[in-house]
Structure formats: structure tokens, C-alpha cells
A and B are shown apart, each in its own frame.
Chain A
Amino acid sequence: MKDMPSIDREKCQACGLCVSICNCGALVMSGNNVKVMDASNCGWCTLCELVCPYGAISCPFEIVVERDPGPE
């Protein structure tokens, strides 16, 4: 499974805002919980993190320096 947004279960109140804004179906309501699906088209728009009123969703970025390809 590729990296997906992660949910802090202790903070999540299952309000469903993230599910409503997610365009790729990565987040769905499953009973009284928000479930993260392995959505291949999740482009890391981070909208779910932005709208979460409880700070329960994290979409972290790895920060790297592009390696010099060196001589061909």
C-alpha cells in the first residue's frame, strides 16, 4: 500500500468533513469511523488535513535534495 493520509483515532470525532472533501475516495465513512482506503489516485492534495477541525489527519511530506545524476 502506498503512503496514505493517517488518522489519529484519539482526535478524530468522525464528523465526516474529510470524507466530504476527498475527491479520490481515499477516505470513507465505515459505521462511526473514518476509514482510509488504498486509493491509487490519491494525489496528496492535503485538503482532508486542511479541513479537519480536530487536527486528526496528517499528510506529511518527505523533504529531499535532488541528487546530481553525475556523468552519463
Chain B
Amino acid sequence: MAVELEFLKSIPYFAGLEPSVLESVRRRVFEKKADKGEILSFEGEKSDVLYFVVSGVVKVFKTSADGKEQIFRIIRPGESFNDVPVLSGGVNLVSAAAMVPVTLNAVKKQDLENILREHPGMALNIIQVLSRRVQELVSLVEDLSFRHVTSRVAKMLLEYTEAGAGGTPRLTQQEMASMIGTAREMVGRSLKSLEEEGTIRMERNRIVIADQKALREMAGVTP
């Protein structure tokens, strides 16, 4: 499938651009597909392609020396990854892998820089994207530093369902653990404790949020 102008328009990077500018962007963007589990970028390697998720979901993660995985972000349709190494010119600080079969739009670093030189107004969009990224990372540091595991599980469940429209993959307990920086066993215990309190209900392979208000309180999230 060709790169769609309508999709590019919906990406924060290209928001508000004139149709002629968008068309010039489209000519430099190419499509890439990946299967579930495929690694899209490796931590420590140089990367010169910026990706936008068109369909499917990608996880951005880091692996410790003993194999423990910390998921930093779940990238959904319309969102980007690889921004930092592409813009800084450094190596990837994290790896990225497809959680389900994915379709991506991609632009090479050199082409992105050319677009920016031709249309410097787009830099404001990129500053906004990177600022949001900093906010997300500060929020993750706060969660890891100050929240108890059950509170982190509650917050993850809420965030996952809130942002989940169109392309939310199902999560294993190991993936949940990797998202909130804890052990799989702790996720199991927290889910059990949330179920006992009646905030969630486990229906075989479904986690049903039964009391959103109580879960928000548990997560320390203001309505």
C-alpha cells in the first residue's frame, strides 16, 4: 500500500502542514512491514530511520545484562519511535520490536533534515513531540521511584485501556511486568489483590476493569 497523505496529516510531526508541503514529505516517506516479534531497531546500534506506526503496535524497551526487560513505551498508530537517535545522530538507547504484525511509514535522517531545512516551521511540531516524550519519561521515573507495585499495575491498566482504541494488543503478565519495572510474580499478586478488592475481575484471558473510580484512586490518578 502506498504512503497515505491522510495518515501523514494525522501524525503530530506533520500536523498543520500545507498540502503541498505534505506532498513533498510523502515523496520521501516509505512503507515497511514487520511480523510479530521482529526487532525494528537494536539498542547500541546507529539508526538513521525515523518510524511512524500506521497499524499494529511496537514496544520500545531496554534489556539488562541478566536479560530483564523494561518496556519504556508502547507505540500505537500515529506515534513515532527512533526520534532521539535520528535527531541527535547518536546510537539507539533502546530497542524496538513489533508486538503484532505492523505497518510502518519511515523517513531517513537525511530526508528528514532536508524537509526541515525547506520547512523550518515543522521544527515546532518536533519540539512538541520531544517535550511530550520528556514528560512521559519523567512520569515513568516517578512511577518507578514512588509508587507501590499494585498502584503501578492499576495505573498501567488504566493507561492501557484509555489509549487503547484501535490496535491494543493483548498483554502477557511478563509484558505487564516489563512495562512497570517489576517481576512477573508481583504482577500476578497485584492482579489478585485488585480482584479481591473488586476493582477488576479476571475472566479467563480477560481483565475487566469493574470499578474505574476505585482503580484511579489506587493508581493515585486524579480524575
Q: Please list the residues of chain A having a beta carbon within 8 angstroms of any beta carbon in chain B.
A: 3, 8, 43-44, 46, 49-50, 55, 58-66
Interface size on B (CB < 8 Å)?
A: 24
Q: Which residues does chain B contribute within 8 Å of A62, judged by CB atoms? A: 170, 205-207
B binding-site residues for A, Cβ under 8 Å:
37, 157, 160-161, 164, 168-175, 184, 188, 201, 204-210, 212
The interface residues of chain B lying within 8 Å CB-to-CB of A61 are: 170-173, 205-207
- What are 23 contact pairs spanning A and B, CB under 8 A? A44-B204, A46-B172, A46-B173, A46-B188, A49-B174, A55-B174, A58-B172, A60-B169, A60-B171, A61-B170, A61-B171, A61-B173, A61-B206, A61-B207, A62-B206, A63-B160, A63-B206, A63-B207, A63-B209, A64-B161, A65-B212, A66-B201, A66-B209
Instruction: Specify the main secondary structure of chain B where it touches its partner.
Output: mixed
How many A-B contacts are there with CB distance less than 8 Å?
58
Instruction: Looking at the assembled complex, report how far the CB atom of B215 sits from the nearest CB atom of chain A, in whole angstroms.
Output: 9
Listed from nearest, the 4 A-B pairs whose CB atoms lie closest are A60-B170, A44-B204, A65-B209, A44-B205
Nearest CB of B to A54, in Å: 12
Q: Are B184 and A64 in contact (CB under 8 A)?
A: no
